[in-house]
Structure 1
Amino acid sequence: MAFLWIGIMLMLGVFLRAKVRFFQRILFPASLIGGLIGFVLVNAGWLGAPSTQGWKVLDQAPFGLLTFHLFAFSFVGIGFLETARASDSSKVVLRGALWIALLFTMMFSIQALLGKGIFSGWAALFGGSFETVNGYLLGAGFTQGPGQTLAYATIWEHSYQTANAINTGLAFAAVGFLVAGLVGVPLALYGIRHGWVSCKEGSGLSRALLCGLRDDVDRPACAYSTTHPANIDSFGFHLGLMAGTYALAYLVGVLWTLYMPKGLSGLGFGMVFFWGMLVAMGIRKIMVWTGSIRLLDDATCHRLTNMLVDFMICSVFMGISLKSLEDVFLPFSLSIVVATIVTLGLCVWFGRRCPEFGFERCLALFGYCTGTAASGLLLLRIVDPDFRTPVAVEIGVMNVCLLFIFDTTITLAMPHAPNPSFPLLWIFLGLAVVLPVIVYFLKMIRKPAF
């Protein structure tokens, strides 16, 4: 029933995006609109399911569980996607991807330090029964999105008994999406008016982008069929392949939990999204070696992954318990405001001094550092609707850079944050100091261009 309610909220979001000008002006996706409405309804106790005993009210728990699995399942789809190789990319794309990757990791570190610092400072000055370590989740919620934040918080609650980590982490991630829209869209429009964009003649907002629905004459193909429908539908084949892969990832989580040392065993289920991506990448390699890669359609994997993300974003909001945030509401709100101002300031400062396509990269970075990659692409489409700049490609290539640079360090370190002997604070401080220096020595800081 929770899954069905998410679908209902998504349809309500689609309708409101198509009819309400306010949502069109700020480019709120249907998943965000539906999620906000669902958040109000579920916290008011108005959502439920009919049963033989009458109306059964739903709480936030099933929505949080759905968020976890939708996120992990989407990473299976990401693992099956054909990614751009660094050797195939131009020098400009590689430089832009590295610029985004380095600053993305720096921003994670700074946001996490701000959240932890504000939570600790508030507890010292005014007291409170909340866990100050949950402040680190600000960085995860803003930069890595709800799924990965939920993975960290789940490990914290199960392995370290950190109170209210899941709810706080989901709240940070949900508000991050709001920040991406409420701040990022006006920033994009401001840049267009002041001539900061590279493709001035092509910047603007199409009708389809505004209302979120396409016309009869604007209906591009969705995917290609790789199986015969008399045997199995192509979408059914891809979904079945993803489901089987997720089952293998779940098995990896079970084995990891059973046989790894106590300090690492908690990563088993908390990192199931990572295991899913690795298993999917391995299966894709096997399909290449065996010549059966023709059965895997990249566009279908994209559609299924994006669908899972839409459902996940909506479920994030519906999985937040407003009552559980009462004790931490003031430091939580303060950290959101401070992080938004700092993130915006740093993105604009570095974007102005970027070697090329500074404003486009600034917008993509801000969207990525407050929402997800989808948020960055959405903001980029406002100023570069036809993707004439290479920034959209850079967003994809930057994930390769992240995998082999510093973000992996954070991903492996965050699960151990509640351990008082773990030097997470020094890791974040080191990254926050070293990464801008690296950007400078790579000659990615030049005279302001806008």
Structure 2
Amino acid sequence: MEASFYPYIAAFVWISLLIVAGVILRAKIKILQTLLFPASLIGGILGFILMRFDLVGIPTSSGWQVLSPSTFGMISFHLFAFSFVGIGLLRNKDAEKRQNREAMRGALWMGLLFGFLFSIQALVGYGAFVGWQKLTGGAFFEVNGFLLGAGFTQGPGQTQAYATVWEESYQVANSIDIGLAFAAIGFLVAGIMGVPFTRYGLRRGWGGQTSGVISPEFCSGILAEGNRLVCAQGTMHPANIDSMGFHLALAGLVYGLAYAFGLLWLNYFPIAGIRGIGLGYTFMWGMMAAMLVRKGMQRLNCAHLLDEGSVRRMTNTCVDFMICAVFMGIKPTALTSVVIPFSVSIVIASFLTLWACLWFGRRAPSLGFARAVTMFGYCTGTGASGLMLLRLVDPEYATPVALEVGLMGLVTFVVFKPISLCMPFAAAPDFPMIWIFVGTAILTPLVMYVLRLVGRRQF
């Protein structure tokens, strides 16, 4: 029985402990409130430090047993994939019934800028890795530099999906560790650079009528007594099954279907060279399976059994735990040979991203500053980071920018899907991934001009 706690139950306990610690530290330490670091990020950073001293482990009858970074890396992969099941189960009424033309135009602006930033960041990372290898002749894989773009714009889960394929199918060493490190640093960049940038713009009046005052509860991260939020509604009678239990069971079933499909792909897909993405793309199969289940429930007139609040709580919980696990899954030793190009590329990409968001934001058709700060957070951390910065400018979500963040996923899914489909093969010999990024970086601004998404400077 004792052995059953190691390693995954013990890892879950540690993540839980660190998130609770993050909640307490955010509520008590002023600088963390100023930076608006979420509890999961604070806990992840604390966990990363503890991991370096072998303090993350479990007591056993034979002594202290340390948990490895690989354990947390595996947990972050599955949490990311499982969260996409929740995304697929969401009914997303706003997307299905949208009539807001401004929101669609803003989503298109965001989606195109997303692809541009992804490409620029990937080229910066790759260029730094190639340049350092030519200078030093170091024994490392330059292709790992592309993961800067994935880590910053797409987050740890999808970055790990790409890196898993590279390691398993093309034997590219340290891809997962370097990719997760890029993603983890991206969360820090979103807070350390994004918050001062947003506050500076507000002081200059760039936010216009949408600027608001941040409440003490928003800073501390804890709601006052008597000011609770309604998170979910029950769709099941408690005498039968708890509503959250039903949602977890349904999501677990869908995740099992995603695994089965990935396994079939891995073993039977006719093109051997891309079989490796079978299980690496579990997140995508999970989202697609969830969408099919949701459509099937609509056809059977039982879609009302899905509560959007419950699904969102489940999805957001996975993201919180994933962010914490990502930091604990980093292996600093894997960065030894690339620490210089790794660091240089992050600094260059961060400032280029900030400059691009401000430049395009100033020339957006409307709501340029709100969209600029949102995209900076999104393209260095995650969608949650973007919304975190947006709340500084638009605390009540009175503008359609928050809706545009959700609709942006549709744009990127259609317009930039070729990049996502090509990334797993970027490590293949002679694959023209660099030219795909170069073409995207050149064509995207031109498309934005043609569609009149770039105009005169507004602020």
CA deviation after TM superposition for structure 1 residue 449, in Å: 1.1
* 2:451 maps to 1:442: yes
CA deviation after TM superposition for structure 1 residue 322, in Å: 1.3
1:206-355 equivalences in 2 (<5 Å): 206-260=215-269, 261-355=271-365
CA deviation after TM superposition for structure 1 residue 58, in Å: 1.2
Residue 63 (structure 1) aligns with: 72
Amino acid at match of 2:401: V
Residue 406 (structure 2) aligns with: 396
More deviation in 273-282 or 79-88? 79-88
Residue 196 (structure 1) aligns with: 206
1:66-145 equivalences in 2 (<5 Å): 66-83=75-92, 84-85=94-95, 88-145=98-155
Match of 1:15 among 20, 24, 35: 24
Residue 370 (structure 2) aligns with: 360
- What's the secondary structure of 1:419's corresponding residue? coil
Amino acid at match of 2:289: V
Relative to the length of structure 2, the TM-score reads 0.96
Amino acid at match of 1:223: A
In 2, Cα distance between the equivalents of 1:363 and 1:218? 28
CA deviation after TM superposition for structure 1 residue 199, in Å: 2.4
Please give the per-residue CA displacement for 1:215-241, whole angstroms capped at 9, x wherever unaligned: 123212110000011111001110111
Please give the per-residue CA displacement for 1:158-200, whole angstroms capped at 9, x wherever unaligned: 0001000000000000000000000000011111101011325
* 2:432 maps to 1:423: yes
Residue pair 1:199, 1:388 contacting (<8 A) in 2 also: no
Please give the per-residue CA displacement for 1:388-439, whole angstroms capped at 9, x wherever unaligned: 1110000011111112112x11110000011122111111111110010000
CA deviation after TM superposition for structure 1 residue 447, in Å: 1.2
Cα RMSD over matched residues?
0.9
Query: Which runs of structure 1 show a deviation greater than 3 angstroms over 4 or more consecutive aligned residues?
Result: none
Amino acid at match of 1:62: T
More deviation in 365-374 or 82-91? 82-91
Amino acid at match of 1:236: G
CA deviation after TM superposition for structure 1 residue 86, in Å: 6.5
CA deviation after TM superposition for structure 1 residue 315, in Å: 0.2
Amino acid at match of 2:403: V
Which ranges in structure 1 are unaligned for 5 or more consecutive residues?
Answer: none
CA deviation after TM superposition for structure 1 residue 297, in Å: 0.3
Residue 161 (structure 2) aligns with: 151
Residue 166 (structure 1) aligns with: 176
Amino acid at match of 2:233: Y
In 1, Cα distance between the equivalents of 2:255 and 2:208? 42
Residue pair 1:43, 1:321 contacting (<8 A) in 2 also: no
In 2, Cα distance between the equivalents of 1:89 and 1:320? 44
Which ranges in structure 2 are unaligned for 5 or more consecutive residues?
Answer: 1-9
Residue 7 (structure 2) aligns with: none
CA deviation after TM superposition for structure 1 residue 108, in Å: 0.4
